[in-house]
């Protein structure tokens, strides 16, 4: 089983990041998680989950308690000395779910001003799978150009756009469909939705 890097940036759709982590725990020996400072407030606003804390250790304990798993390791977004900032760190790939337009722009232009952007930059230079799930529509021409730039170099752009052929009954079914499609993009098996027949 591989280790994966997951980032939750400051954009609407934090519920997708929460659900992705839950599913990835079935596929990985370790998840390396980074959450942007803005994402903590959005996470609490949208889901009621409060993972904020004074230290990375206190945040990590909250996250591990939430998932009842010690297999998630948390890093502060300003910790550019974290292991995931290095190309020598082995990882099966990286997910940024949700991905803010600021984070998208930083990744697209190699800015690497924080750990999320640096880890994505390293993922790219090492030729590993990078999957970005942009925040809610609409997108400006600048946003689309950044996505196209990244798509052309092999990044998977996976906006959280649901389908309805599986007849979702509630928001959880919609979230599961989106996460299922993201897992498909990473080549990971799941049974989160009924496939088209």
Write down all domains in the chain, each with its CATH number in brackets. 2-185 (3.40.50.1950)
Q: Whole-angstrom distance between the N-terminal and C-terminal Cα of the chain?
A: 30
SS3 146: helix
Q: What is the mean pLDDT of residues 86-114?
A: 97
Phi-psi region of 167 (alpha: psi -120 to 50; beta: other; left: phi over 0): left
Q: What are phi and psi of 141, to 5 degrees?
A: -60, -35
On whether the CB atoms of residues 30 and 197 are closer than 8 A, the answer is no
Dihedral angle, C-alpha 39, 45, 49, 53, nearest 10 ° = 50
Q: Is the pLDDT at 197 greater than 90, yes or no?
A: no
Cis peptide before 138 (omega within 30 of 0): yes
- What pLDDT score does 78 carry? 97
Specify the pLDDT at position 45: 98
68 — pLDDT class (breaks 50, 70, 90)? very high
User: What is the mean predicted confidence (pLDDT) over 170-176?
Assistant: 97
Q: Is the pLDDT of residue 26 over 80?
A: yes
Strands (E), the chain: 2-8, 28-35, 72-76, 94-99, 130-134, 156-157
Residues linked to residue 130 through DSSP beta bridges, in sequence order: 94
Percent of the chain whose pLDDT exceeds 70: 99
Of how many residues is the chain composed? 197
The span from the CA of 12 to the CA of 10, in Å, is 7
- Overall average pLDDT of the 151-167 stretch: 96
Q: Which whole number is the average pLDDT over 89-100?
A: 97
């Amino acid at each position: 089983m591989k280790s994966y890097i997951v980032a939750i940036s400051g954009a609407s759709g934090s519920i997708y990041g929460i659900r992705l982590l839950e599913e990835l725990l079935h596929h990985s020996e370790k998840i390396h998680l980074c959450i942007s400072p803005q994402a903590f407030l959005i996470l609490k606003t949208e889901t009621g989950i409060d993972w904020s804390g004074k230290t990375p250790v206190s945040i990590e304990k909250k996250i591990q308690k939430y998932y009842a798993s010690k297999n998630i390791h948390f890093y502060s977004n300003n910790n550019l000395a974290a292991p995931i900032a290095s190309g020598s760190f082995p990882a099966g790939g990286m997910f940024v779910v949700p991905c803010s337009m600021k984070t998208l722009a930083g990744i697209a232009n190699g800015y690497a001003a924080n750990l999320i952007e640096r880890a994505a930059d390293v993922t790219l230079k090492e030729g590993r799978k990078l999957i970005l799930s942009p925040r809610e529509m609409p997108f400006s021409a600048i946003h689309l150009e950044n996505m196209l730039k990244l798509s052309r170099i092999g990044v998977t752009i996976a906006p959280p756009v649901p389908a309805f052929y599986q007849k979702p009954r509630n928001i959880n079914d919609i979230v599961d469909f989106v996460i299922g499609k993201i897992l498909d993009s990473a080549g990971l098996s799941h049974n989160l939705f009924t496939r088209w027949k």
